[in-house]
């Protein structure tokens, strides 16, 4: 979940907590206040009725008592019943036409030294507040007044719904304001996160726009300074790596030349000397020994020439990348009993920059070597293609494939460093390298570099 939505949800949670908490508190407070008010009204009615009821009970004036009870019952719409009991517990006056409901008489009694008793009863008409008030301290009897709590409960429910609706409205408004506020607060962080991701992908030129003097702006300034330093260090590393690779290629070229010109000439001379010795030998045994020495010398000469070619093929410098790759792929297929195919389109007669040709040749060499060593493939194909202003190199095999993520994380150092070296070589000439592979499937290496024809006068033979 993004930080923006975390802020919005935090605001929503706070509004809900305060709104629901306030609603519950208001509901309980209002319920207590209204019940107290209802009880006070019931006590007033009972007290007003108890004073004259005592005299009427003493004079045994049933009709007058009935009139007093009827008048009291009409004093409030909440009054549901009034009953006057004498000291013996007999009903002397009541608003019930057909007698008392079952269980009403014992439901509420005044226990000394209490001055009255109030209880809530559940009846067929709903909840009732039943108040028992003694007449002349209970010596003459008791007045029972029952007030309906429905209006009180209805007012509490309406208040609760009003507060809930208000909470919902505040929640909607709070979400809108919270979203706008969170967007304003997290936009700089989002830009900073995007810049960090870009730098993590190697896009070291990415920077964060700064504004203000808050903590995020200070963090952005620090990030930009770090990115500048990383770009400077990356530039220095690339320069150093380019110099190391150039020095390596020069050393390869020197060693290859010495092997070809020095050791190769010596071995050739040795072969000629052994030939003359073989021609002048008279004994069969001596002739056989000399022939064996000639064979070993010829094999050594082939090994020296192969080593010189592996170190730095002269055809790469003389005829260019297309001819060098064509020769290398064919030679590699022949030596490793592998069906190897090379195709080139759009690059006939075109020479690239020496650094680009060397990088593409070494990448293809490493890719084909990996096929031979690890893929257990039957065939490999190498394609060199000109596509617009780009040069694309594709090396594909029908081998076992591998898990790219696992190799990069936990692969053998030699294999992993080989892949990283291919990436570095492509990056040094402004290109990119992509590897597609799955366990049990094929592997394809794609390299794409800018097409920059050489300007040093080297051109391939147009008749190729």
CB 411 within 8 A of CB 394: no
Shared-domain flag, residues 30 and 109? yes
pLDDT at 306: 66
**For 169-221, what is each residue's pLDDT tens digit?**
999 999 999 889 888 877 877 888 888 888 887 777 778 777 667 777 888 88
Residue 458: is its pLDDT beyond 50? Answer: no
Average pLDDT (305-312) is 64
Half-sphere exposure of 442 (CA within 13 A, CB side): 11
Residue 22 neighbours by CB distance under 10 Å? 13
Asked whether the beta carbons of 30 and 158 are under 8 A apart, the reply is: no
Domain match, 322 and 308 both? no
Please report, rounded to a whole number, the percentage of residues in the chain having pLDDT higher than 90: 38
Structural domain total, the chain: 3
Coil, helix or strand at residue 88: coil
pTM: 0.50
Largest CA distance in the chain: 172
What mean pLDDT is predicted for residues 262-278?
A: 69
Question: Are 374 and 402 contacting, i.e. CB atoms less than 8 angstroms apart?
Answer: yes
pLDDT one-digit tens code per residue, 27-68: 999 999 999 999 999 999 999 999 899 999 999 999 999 999
Whether the predicted pLDDT of 456 surpasses 50: no
In a domain, 214, yes or no: no
Question: What is the predicted pLDDT for the residue at 309?
Answer: 61
What's the rounded Cα separation, in Å, for the pair 119 and 379? Answer: 97
The whole-angstrom separation of Cα 345 and Cα 331 is 21
**pLDDT for residue 451:** 86
Asked if residue 356 and residue 414 are part of one domain, the reply reads yes
pLDDT at 414 over 60: no
What's the pLDDT score for residue 2? 78
291 with 340, same domain: the answer is no
Provide DSSP, 105-140.
GGG--PPTT-S-EEEEEEETTEEEEEEEEEETTTTS
Residue 350 reports pLDDT greater than 80: yes
Environment class of residue 171 by beta-carbon count within 10 Å: exposed (0-12), middle (13-18) or buried (19+)?
A: middle
337 versus 302: the higher-pLDDT residue is 337
Q: Which residue has the higher pLDDT, 212 or 9?
A: 9
Q: Tell me which residue of 408, 427, 425 sits closest to 416, measured CA to CA.
A: 408
Query: How far is 252 from 250, CA to CA, in rounded Å?
Result: 5
Q: Are residues 298 and 334 in the same domain?
A: no
Q: How far is CA 11 from the centre of its chain?
A: 22
Tell me whether residue 197 is in a domain: no
Identify whether residues 240 and 140 lie together within a single domain. Answer: no
Residue 443 counted as domain residue: yes
Same domain (yes/no): 345, 426: yes
- How far apart are the C-alpha atoms of 15 and 22, rounded to whole Å? 10
Least confident of 38-47, 342-351, 387-396: 342-351
Whether the CA torsion 278, 279, 281, 287 is positive or negative: it is positive
Whether the per-residue pLDDT at 455 is higher than 50: the answer is no
Q: Give the strands of the sheet with 443-450, arranged side by side.
A: 339-345, 379-387, 390-397, 443-450, 432-437
- 2-16: average pLDDT: 88
CB distance 352 to 451 below 8 Å: yes
- Arithmetic mean of pLDDT, 349-372: 89
Verify that 106 and 229 share a domain, yes or no.
no
3-state helix, strand, coil in the chain (%, to 5): 60, 15, 25
SS3 96: coil
pLDDT, tens only, 58-96: 999 999 999 999 999 998 889 999 999 998 889 999 999
- What is the model's pLDDT at position 310? 65
Binning pLDDT at 50, 70 and 90, where does residue 282 land?
Answer: low
**Residues 92-118 pLDDT 10s:** 999 998 888 888 999 999 988 889 999
- How are strands ordered across the β-sheet holding 79-86? 91-94, 79-86, 141-148, 126-135, 117-123
pLDDT of residue 5: 84
Of 158, 181, 212, which residue sits at a domain end?
Answer: 158
Which residue do the tokens 């000469």 mark? 301
CATH, residue 28? 3.30.450.20
Q: Are 301 and 350 found together in one domain? A: no
How many CB atoms within 10 Å of residue 195?
A: 19
Cβ atoms < 10 Å from Cβ of 82:
24
Which residue range(s) make up the domain with 276? 222-312
CB 395 within 8 A of CB 442: no
323 and 414 in a single domain? The answer is yes
- The pLDDT, as a whole number, for residue 148 is 93
- Whether residue 140 is contained in a domain is answered as yes
Does residue 322 form part of some domain? yes
Question: Which of 279-283, 348-352, 383-387 is modeled with the greatest confidence?
Answer: 383-387
H helical segments located in 201-263: 215-258
Let me know whether 326 and 457 are in one domain.
Answer: yes
Q: What is the pLDDT of residue 269?
A: 72
266, 288, 312 — which closes off a domain?
312
Which of 260, 278, 312 terminates a domain? The answer is 312
Distance CA(34)–CA(154), nearest Å, equals 11
Please indicate, yes or no, whether residues 336 and 286 belong to a single structural domain of this protein: no
Q: Predicted confidence band at 305 (pLDDT cuts at 50, 70, 90)?
A: low
Instruction: Please report the pLDDT score of residue 71 as a whole number.
Output: 93
Q: Is 96 part of a structural domain of the chain?
A: yes
Residue 404 lies in a domain: yes
pLDDT above 50 (res 460): no
Q: Which of 265, 281, 318 lies closest to 460 in space, CA to CA?
A: 318
For residue 226, what pLDDT is reported? Answer: 86
The whole-number pLDDT of residue 92 equals 92
pLDDT at 318: 81
- Could you tell me if 107 and 117 are in contact, meaning their C-beta atoms sit under 8 angstroms apart? no
Q: What is the mean pLDDT of residues 406-413?
A: 63
In DSSP notation, 385-445 reads EEETTEEEEEEEE-S----HHHHHHHS-HHHHHHHHHHHHHHHHTT-EEEEEE-TTS-EEE
For residue 95, the model assigns a pLDDT of: 92
121 within domain boundaries: yes
Q: Residue 439 is part of a domain; what is its CATH number?
A: 3.30.565.10
List the one residue out of 346, 341, 328, 343 whose CA is nearest residue 391.
Answer: 346
Residue with the bigger pLDDT between 183 and 412: it is 183
Q: Which of 98-107, 291-300, 435-444 has the lowest mean pLDDT?
A: 291-300
Dump pLDDT digits (tens) for 240-263. 767 776 776 676 666 666 665 666
pLDDT band at 408 (very low <50, low <70, confident <90, very high): low
Mean pLDDT, the chain, as a whole number?
A: 83
């Amino acid at each position: 979940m993004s930080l923006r939505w975390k802020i919005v949800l935090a605001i929503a949670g706070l509004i809900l907590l305060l709104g629901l908490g306030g609603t519950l508190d208001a509901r309980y407070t209002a319920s207590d206040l209204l019940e107290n008010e209802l009880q006070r009204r019931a006590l007033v009615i009972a007290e007003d009725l108890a004073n004259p009821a005592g005299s009427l009970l003493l004079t045994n004036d049933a009709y007058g008592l009935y009139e007093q009870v009827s008048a009291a019952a009409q004093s409030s719409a909440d009054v549901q019943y009034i009953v006057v009991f004498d000291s013996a517990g007999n009903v002397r006056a009541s608003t019930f036409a057909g007698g008392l409901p079952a269980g009403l008489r014992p439901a509420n009694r005044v226990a000394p030294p209490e001055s009255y008793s109030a209880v809530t009863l559940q009846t067929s008409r709903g909840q009732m507040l039943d108040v028992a008030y003694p007449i002349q301290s209970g010596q003459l009897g008791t007045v029972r007044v029952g007030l309906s709590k429905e209006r009180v409960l209805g007012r509490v429910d309406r208040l609760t719904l009003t507060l809930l609706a208000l909470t919902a409205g505040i929640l909607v408004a709070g979400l809108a304001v919270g979203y706008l506020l969170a967007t304003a607060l997290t936009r700089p962080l989002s830009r900073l996160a995007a810049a960090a991701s870009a730098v993590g992908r190697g896009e070291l030129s990415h920077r964060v726009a700064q504004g203000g003097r808050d903590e995020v702006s200070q963090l952005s300034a620090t990030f930009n300074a770090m990115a500048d330093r990383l770009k400077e260090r990356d530039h220095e590393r690339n320069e150093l790596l380019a110099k190391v690779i150039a020095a390596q290629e020069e050393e390869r070229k020197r060693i290859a030349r010495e092997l070809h010109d020095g050791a190769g000439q010596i071995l050739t001379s040795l072969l000629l000397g052994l030939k003359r010795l073989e021609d002048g030998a008279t004994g069969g045994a001596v002739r056989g020994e000399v022939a064996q020495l000639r064979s070993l010398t010829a094999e050594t000469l082939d090994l020296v020439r192969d080593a010189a070619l592996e170190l730095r093929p002269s055809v790469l410098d003389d005829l260019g990348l297309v001819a060098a790759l064509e020769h290398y792929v064919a030679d590699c297929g022949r030596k490793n009993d592998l069906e190897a195919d090379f195709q080139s389109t759009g690059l006939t007669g075109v020479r690239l920059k020496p650094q680009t040709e060397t990088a593409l040749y070494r990448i293809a060499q490493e890719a084909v070597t990996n096929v031979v060593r690890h893929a257990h493939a039957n065939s490999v194909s190498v394609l060199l293609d000109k596509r617009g202003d780009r040069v694309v190199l594709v090396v594909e095999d029908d081998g076992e494939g591998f898990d790219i993520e696992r190799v990069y994380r936990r692969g053998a150092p030699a294999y992993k460093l080989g892949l990283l070296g291919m990436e570095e070589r492509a990056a040094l000439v402004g290109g990119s390298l992509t590897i597609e592979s799955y366990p049990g499937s094929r592997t394809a290496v794609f390299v794409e570099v800018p097409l920059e024809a050489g300007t040093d006068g080297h051109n391939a033979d147009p008749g190729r």
